[in-house]
Structure 1
Amino acid sequence: MNTEKKFQGTIVPVVAPLAHDYKLDKEAVERIFSHLYKSNASPFILGTTGESASLPQSFKEDYIKTAAKIRTKDVKLYAGISSNIVEDSIEFAKLCFDEGVDAVAATLPTYYHLSEDQMKRYFLELADGIPGPLIVYNIPATTHMSIPLSLMDELSQHPSIVGAKDSERSEKRLDECLNLWKNRSDFSYFLGWAAKSAHALINGADGLVPSTGNIAPSIYSAMFQAVLQKDYNLAFHYQIQSDRLGHLYQHDRSLGESLWALKVLMNELGLCESTMMPPLSGLSLTEENELRKGFHELIKREKITLNLLSHAS
């Protein structure tokens, strides 16, 4: 883990905090960001966890401007620009950088299956068209395509492409990513697979992008410190806490259902409402109550520290 790279650390893919009328809950954004800052975590808005595929453009622009106003200047702000329309992604990236976003991330478009050459042309067009750093985001669970590592390594030579976020569930691919980029001072590797966080950090990853960081960013801050101190047993202790929290809201749920469950837990902490942007929606009140109860039992049993603010408890 190279702590001197420009882009590194815990980057939390923040939910889209919605009021009951589906507008942006700006006070919730402030609470969530403050919660992250207590654990030295950076916010990444408008990603998969942030329901970006379901949000209207006006909401995205409001979110960017709100986040930019309340951000702490010494903490980086990341934003997703993914779209099926290249021009829209470029124009939105320009807005992001105008508002002070430090780096943007983009997945592949999600409608057509792309050849490797088409993937390359797509990311090069983005990188050439936006006025700031770009992170290539590989997530086959939503795009239904995997970006070949050979292509990602080729793209990493572009001066505007500064990192990769990889959420593909493959230990072989994870280790290959680490071997490719852990010694690159100009390129950062972020893991988007929370179950392998400790392994990745111990073996040279520059950062993590865990959705569980929305509720317990302190776990990943502590994991980072344990790795820096070469206390790997302690790092895996925090990995177990991460795994059990993730299991609580993700197990036996679809991606959309798990995002609702995550918001329920955040609501239990006073961070935001559990409202989802259609077509996603919540599950039953019975399941919600069981989730809340299980959450309190888990954090008490595992002695998980949440570092909550006084007004978010």
Structure 2
Amino acid sequence: MKTKKKYHGTIVPLVTPINTKYQLDKEAVARILENLKQFNASPFILGTTGESALLTNQLKLEYLETVAGIRSTEHKLYVGISSNSMKETIDFSKRCFEFGADAVVATLPFYYKLSERQIKKYFLQLADHVDGPMVIYNIPATTHMSIPLNLLDELSLHDNIVATKDSERSEERLQESLSRWADRPDFSHLLGWAAKSAYALLHGSDGLVPSTGNLAPSIYDEMYKAIAEGSEEKAYYYQRQSDLLGDLYQKGRTLGESLWALKILMQSVGLCEPHVMPPLQGSSTEEINLLKESFQQLIKEEGIKLNIYNHV
């Protein structure tokens, strides 16, 4: 069985639960964290799923303070620090570690296209100035740039760069990443491509970062158990559950629309309300009802294990 590295396991990129006034819903935060804890998952706040690019600095800090105050210390806390301003990114990283974050997570800035030389200098400058471990997050869907693996391998030698979270949809890239880092004890590969979760774990990835974990962290807990037992068939059974749930709120929708749909499903089990930050917005009552009906049918047919909270 693969030896566990320091940064591993199910790391759920949390939604940011808000109310009708676009304020943080702290009670919902507590419910979401409790749901993760029961299924051995770690929280990652202020990432793509958390609508981080749309949040004020004040709300980001409030979310950090709230999670830091109630989260389980049994699991690591990952915090997104990405911004188009390097100074803001560095300053916020310092607050993250002051509040007990175990690692910060940084994407590339997303406005100007950068050369490979600029990408390298950017991450080295960040790593030199953050006060702790940093995860490099590759997500071309939002930054419109892919971090070359050779460069990432070079960056991984920096003492503060401890892992990569990769959401790029490329089988070739995934296979090469695993061949580079699966057996390297001081650098972790974390996959943000849910459709390849079981494959990645079976071939040496250290962790998963699935947005569906907001709703059903049990799926990934069971997937890990199946792999630990040596049951590839069972691992792919849970991969199927992950795929079906993911398709339900993602298929045919833009990234922003899928975040609203995910919150609709979370509302169905009492985790949070479905409000999203402008300019994102919800859809029609008809679509909401169809989504909820399809969700209930899927849960019944597939026997997906969910916690139900009677608060929303």
Range class of TM-score, shorter chain: over 0.9
CA apart distance, 1:193:
0.2
Query: Matches of 2:148 and 2:311 in 1, distance apart?
Result: 42
CA apart distance, 1:295:
0.3
Pairing 1:287–2:311 present:
no
Q: Deviations over 1:77-113 (max 9, x none)?
A: 1110000011110000000000001001000000000
Partner of 2:13: 13
Pairing 1:161–2:140 present:
no
When normalised by structure 1's length, the TM-score is 0.98
Tell me the amino acid that sits aligned with residue 12 of structure 1: V
Q: 1:3 to 1:275 in 2, by over 3 A?
A: farther
Question: 8 Å contact 2:269–2:308 — kept in the other structure?
Answer: no
Question: 8 Å contact 1:197–1:239 — kept in the other structure?
Answer: yes
Partner of 1:87: 87
Structure 2: segments with no counterpart, 5+ residues: none
Partner of 2:204: 204
CA apart distance, 1:73:
1.2
Query: Matches of 2:308 and 2:120 in 1, distance apart?
Result: 44
Pairing 1:23–2:23 present:
yes
Partner of 1:148: 148
Query: Matches of 1:257 and 1:128 in 2, distance apart?
Result: 36
Query: Matches of 2:252 and 2:309 in 1, distance apart?
Result: 33
Q: Deviations over 1:38-84 (max 9, x none)?
A: 10000100000000000000000000000000011111111100000
Query: Matches of 1:287 and 1:310 in 2, distance apart?
Result: 23
Query: Matches of 2:153 and 2:308 in 1, distance apart?
Result: 41
When normalised by structure 2's length, the TM-score is 0.98
Query: Matches of 1:4 and 1:144 in 2, distance apart?
Result: 32
Paired residue total? 312
Query: Matches of 1:63 and 1:88 in 2, distance apart?
Result: 16
Equivalent position SS for 2:305: coil
Partner of 1:228: 228
Query: Matches of 1:268 and 1:294 in 2, distance apart?
Result: 11
Query: Matches of 2:132 and 2:245 in 1, distance apart?
Result: 35
Query: Matches of 1:235 and 1:73 in 2, distance apart?
Result: 28
Structure 1: segments with no counterpart, 5+ residues: none
Hey, which bits of structure 1, 4+ residues long, moved more than 2 A? 1-4, 309-313
Query: Matches of 2:4 and 2:53 in 1, distance apart?
Result: 33
Shifted more, 1-10 versus 287-296: the winner is: 1-10
